[in-house]
Amino acid sequence: MKNLRIGAQLALAAALTFGSLVAGCNRISGAAPEIKSEDDKTVYALGLLLGRNVATFNLTPRELEIVKTGLSDAVTKKKPLVEIDKYGPQVDALARKRGNEKAEQEKAKAKDLVAAAEKEPGAVKTPSGFVFKSTRAGTGAQPEAADRVKVHYEGRLSDGTVFDSSIKRGEPAVFPLNGVIKCWTEGVARMKVGEKATLTCPSDVAYGDQGRPPTIPGGATLIFDVELLDVMKAPPVSDTPPPAAAPSPHAAPSPHGAH
């Protein structure tokens, strides 16, 4: 049974991208594969998805070539260069090691990022460590942690990569304020309806060392531009218990990048 889990992890680690495999198999001709048909595009997309799922390994160019070799040998049924029973169990350990190293690098970068955000006019560094900056005043209601809020937002990594945006989707997000990351719970609670703000969120008030791979790396500081559109007060707590047959409430929707 243990080999099933090991085999699945190895398959994922080895199959870095299907596009890379095809490119590796075309070394004789020296030409990259042409992506023409719908099947070609789908196979290429499969490669992208596999590649994202092994981002935790932070492979060097040399290691990428080794992965291609392992993948090619497996597909062409060549004799493996290593014993899979010996080295397969080490895949998880390597993923954890590389993930921890990457998280420490991200947190080191965050110090300068947070310090720069704190120096911007009107910015405030909160006791919990994130930086709040109002960019447009609001005049409406101010939410409490138990309330539901409607917002438009965009989330970026420290390098400017947008990982989630309700604005691009064209649909505001509605969610309970106490059901998201701490930076959001505290930050949006500072806002009034109609207000816009930028939240600079270190990992310890966001997704921690684990991140949300492959979109958000471990240790990442996140920057959110948020517009508070509406506040829906939580219903009053009743002293009367619900009927035994009452259905469970559905989970409230929440932004993809701010769970």
Task: Spell out the SS3 assignment of 188-200.
Answer: HCCCCCCCEEEEE
**Catalytic residue flag (residue 57):** no
Q: How confident is the model at residue 235 (pLDDT cuts 50, 70, 90)?
A: low
Q: How confident is the model at residue 214 (pLDDT cuts 50, 70, 90)?
A: confident
Is the pTM for the entire model greater than 0.85? no
Is residue 19 scored above 50 in pLDDT?
A: no
63-88: average pLDDT: 86
Catalytic residue among 130, 207, 216, 223: 207
Name 212's Cβ contacts closer than 8 Å, sequence gap at least 6: 257, 259
**Catalytic residue flag (residue 216):** no
Per-residue pLDDT, 164? 94
Catalytic residue among 18, 147, 164, 175: 164
**Catalytic residue flag (residue 153):** yes
What backbone phi and psi angles, to 5 degrees, belong to 153? -155, 160
Helices marked H in 15-55 — which ranges? Answer: 18-25, 38-53
Per-residue pLDDT, 161? 92
Which two structure tokens, joined as six digits, stand for 124? Answer: 């405030």
SS percent in the chain: helix, strand, coil, step 5: 40, 15, 40
Please state which of the ranges 39-48, 160-169, 184-193 shows the lowest mean pLDDT: 39-48
